[in-house]
Amino acid sequence: GQNIDQPTEMTATEGAIVQINCTYQTSGFNGLFWYQQHAGEAPTFLSYNVLDGLEEKGRFSSFLSRSKGYSYLLLKELQMKDSASYLCAVFSPVNYGGSQGNLIFGKGTKLSVKP
Amino acid sequence: GAVVSQHPSWVICKSGTSVKIECRSLDFQATTMFWYRQFPKQSLMLMATSNEGSKATYEQGVEKDKFLINHASLTLSTLTVTSAHPEDSSFYICSASGGPIAASYEQYFGPGTRLTVT
């Protein structure tokens, strides 16, 4: 089966660092994405990991361990505008008549940043 | 680059009517488009995957006769919710792939359409 787990909610303080974990069990794996989604809006791309290790992009970093089925998103120097849901998604390489596969989303972690 | 638009952004319709939602890739050719549905406080659930010029592939539990998907060109896909009922009220989001970073399998999401069926 396909299963992606991440905490439902987290709270952190402005200026701090927060780590959002994601564990996955999927029938195939061709990369892991992190998306940010503000309420009532579509997800926006944050990061993509396909190899083990840490990918850093400004205040955001994402880590992947394929052997452990584990990833985390690290947000530094938190700002109020970072309050949003963070979605972990695994790309599963199912062949849909030419399509390379589809994304399987976790339920998202709602992050609240407080002053 | 890699912009996806959706129209309308929100729609209210009466039970029993049909609603069409358009998804367009504005600056790239989308070989594959995906339709998702998201209920409040839930994650995105894939409804169907469509490739230009071919029939859509629906996820288990999604009624293909109720949610009609057409992917007539490399820049346009439409989702028609037929005989809508209040339980179809949801946030519908499309995404497209085949853009400038196709090798990374990245999907570009539209802004979503909020459907309310009364």
Residues from chain B that touch A30, judged by Cβ atoms under 8 A, are 105
Contact with chain A for residue B29, Cβ under 8 A: no
Q: What is the CA radius of gyration of chain A?
A: 14
Contact with chain B for residue A69, Cβ under 8 A: no
Q: CB-based contacts of A50: which residues, under 8 Å, 6+ apart? A: A30, A31, A32, A64, B104
**Which pLDDT value is given to residue B88?**
96
pLDDT tens sequence across B34-90: 999 998 878 888 899 888 778 888 988 899 999 999 988 889 999 999 999 999 999
Contact with chain A for residue B91, Cβ under 8 A: yes
Alpha-carbon span B68 to B83, nearest angstrom: 11
Fill in the DSSP letter of residue B94: E
Q: Band of the pLDDT at B1, cuts 50, 70, 90? A: low
pLDDT tens sequence across A32-73: 999 999 988 888 889 989 899 999 989 999 999 999 999 999
Mutant choice from B36, B42, B44 vs A, greatest count of A C-beta within 10 A: B44
Alpha-carbon span B93 to B47, nearest angstrom: 10
Size of chain B in residues = 118
Alpha-carbon span A94 to A1, nearest angstrom: 13
Closest among B105, B116, B112 to B15, alpha carbons compared: B116
